[in-house]
Amino acid sequence: MLAPILCVVGARPNYMKVAPIIRAISAVTQDIDSILLHTGQHYDESMNDQLFRGLRLPEPDFNLNVGSGTHAAQTADVMRKFEPILDKVEPSCVLVVGDVNSTLACALVAAKKLVKVVHVEAGLRSFDRSMPEEINRVLTDQISDVLYTTERSAHKNLEREGIDPKRVRFVGNVMIDSLLANLPHAIPTTQTLTRHELPASLAEEKEGYAVVTLHRPSNVDDRNTLAGLLKSLSHISQTHPLFWPMHPRTRSNIERFGLLPLLRSKYVAILPPLGYLEMLGLMSKARLVLTDSGGIQEETTALGVPCLTLRENTERPITVEEGSNTLVGREHQTIIRAVQEILETGGKAGRVPEYWDGRAADRIATHLVAWISENSGLGVA
C-alpha cells in the first residue's frame, strides 16, 4: 500500500471536479487510497450539503470548518488548520482543484512541507489581477509539481511563467466528466420550479427561459454596477422568464443596496442556490444563460447552450473560441444586442472542445498513479 492522495475541496465549484477523480483513482488501483478533506469555505446546506449528495461524493474524512472571512483570514485559517492534518496523513501528494482560496492555502502548506502538489485545472489566466482567483491560480501553479490542464491555451500561459512543460499534462475537463455522467439524472425544470413554489408553466412562456447566476465581487459588490446589471436583466425578462439561483453574497448585497424592487416581476424567479442535478436540468433546457461563473461558461459550452458572460475577460478562452460562450461585459446595450441576436439566430451552438469527453478523470488517475508508484514523487514520468 502506498501513501494516500489527499484531495482538497473548499467551495462549491470544487465538488464536481473532485468527485470523478476520486472515483477514477479507485478504479485504477487498490493500492492508493484517496482521502477527502473539506476546508469548510462553503458550509450552507444549499452551497454544500445538497451538492455533495447530488454528486454522490463521500463524506469528507476531515473538515476544517473555516467558514467565511476576509481573504487573509480565510486563507490563514485554512493553512493553520490544514498543517496538523497533513502531518498526520503523510500523503504521497496533495491534490487541489480550481482557483478558490482553499486551493492556494492547502497548496502553500504542502509545498513548504515538501509534500508534492498536484493542481487540476492549471494554467487558466484572465490576466486580471483584481480577481482573487487569478492570484490563487498564478501562485498555485508556481508551487505545483504536476499540473493538469483543461485547454491548450493553458500551456502557453504556464510556459510564459517559467513552468517546466514536463510537469504539465493536457487531460481535458473533469467538470465535464461530472456533467456527462449526471446529465441523464438531471431534474426537469418544471419539477424544480414546483419544489420552489413557482408556476411550472413559467418554463414554457415567451421565447424560452434564461438562467442567471452572478457572484463575482466585481459585479455584485458595487451598488451602481449591480443596479445596472439588474436593469439589463429586468429588460431581458420581457422576452425570457429569468430563473436565478442566487448566491448568498449577491442576495445580501441586493438587499443591503435596496435593489429588490428592480426585480419585482412575475418573470424574474429568484431561487436559492440549487442542487447539482437541478442546475443541470435548468441549464440544459435554457434558451440562454447569463453568468459570471467560470464553471458555467464551460458547462454551457459542453451543453451547446448559448452563454453570455457578464465580464470583460475570461480565463477560459476556448469557451469563446470554440464553444457557445460570448463575452458581453456589463454595458446595457451590448448585453441587450447579444440577447436580441440569440432571439433572431438561435445563438452560438459552438462545438465541444478536445478532451471534454467525460474521460479526463481517467487520464488523471492513470497518470497520477503511475507517477506516484514509479517516481515516489521524485518527478513526472
CB of 218 to ligand UD1, least distance (A): 11
What is the residue-wise DSSP string for 71-105?
HHHHHHHHHHHHHHHHHHH--SEEEEETTSHHHHH
Q: What angle do CA 151, 124, 169 make, to 5 degrees?
A: 50
CA distance 362 to 29: 12
Pick one of 100, 271, 277, 290: the residue that binds ligand UD1 (CB under 6 A). 100
Choose between 125 and 348: whose C-beta lies nearer to ligand UD1. 125
Give residues 130-159 in contact with ligand UD1 (rule: CB under 6 A).
132-133
Question: Toward ligand UD1, which CB reaches closer, 13 or 20?
Answer: 13
CB 8 within 8 A of CB 95: yes
96 contact partners, CB below 8 Å, separation of at least 6:
8, 102, 103, 106, 107, 117, 118, 119, 120, 140, 144
> By CB under 6 A, is residue 262 in contact with ligand UD1?
no
Residue/partner pairs of 187-193 with CB below 8 Å, 24 or more apart: 187/275, 187/277, 187/278, 187/280, 187/281, 188/281, 188/285, 189/243, 189/281, 189/282, 189/285, 191/281, 192/271, 192/274, 192/278, 192/281, 192/282, 193/243, 193/269
316: Cα within 13 Å, side-chain hemisphere: 29
Q: Which of residues 25-54 bind ligand UD1 (CB under 6 A)?
A: 41-44, 47-48
Distances (CA, A) of 33 to 2, 28, 30, 204, 359: 8, 11, 7, 47, 20
Give the residue, chosen from 34, 101, 178, 192, that forms a contact with ligand UD1 under the rule CB under 6 A. Answer: 101
Question: Which of 4, 8, 13, 51: binder of ligand UD1 (CB under 6 A)?
Answer: 13
CA distances from 208 to 242, 304, 307 (A): 9, 15, 14
Evaluate the CA torsion angle 96, 99, 103, 107 in order and state its sign.
Answer: positive
| CB closer to ligand UD1, 99 vs 177 | 99
- Alpha carbons 58 and 7: distance in angstroms, whole number: 12
Choose one: 98-106, 112-120, 350-358, 362-370; the region binding ligand UD1 (CB under 6 A): 98-106
Smallest distance from ligand UD1 to CB 11, Å: 4
Binding test (CB under 6 A) with ligand UD1, winner from 7, 12, 284, 350 = 12
CB of 117 to ligand UD1, least distance (A): 17
Stretch near ligand UD1 under the rule CB under 6 A, chosen from 10-18, 109-117, 180-188, 369-377: 10-18
Shortest reach from residue 82's CB to ligand UD1, in Å:
15
Catalogue the active-site residues: 215
**Residues 297 to 356 in contact with ligand UD1, rule: CB under 6 A:** none
Q: Which is nearer to ligand UD1, 251 or 330 (CB)?
A: 251
Q: Which is nearer to ligand UD1, 4 or 98 (CB)?
A: 98
Alpha-carbon gap, residue 186 to 197, rounded angstroms: 19
Nearer to ligand UD1, 179 or 339 (CB): 179
| Contacting range for ligand UD1; rule: CB under 6 A; set: 95-103, 163-171, 223-231, 323-331 | 95-103
Which segment (97-105, 276-284, 296-304, 336-344) binds ligand UD1 by CB under 6 A? 97-105
Name the grid cell of 129.
489581477
Give me the least distance between CB of 220 and ligand UD1, in Å please: 9
Contacts with ligand UD1 by CB under 6 A: the residue count is 19
Q: How far is the CB of 235 from ligand UD1 (least distance, A)?
A: 26
Residues at the contact surface with ligand UD1, assessed by CB under 6 A? 11-13, 41-44, 47-48, 68, 99-101, 132-133, 215, 247-249
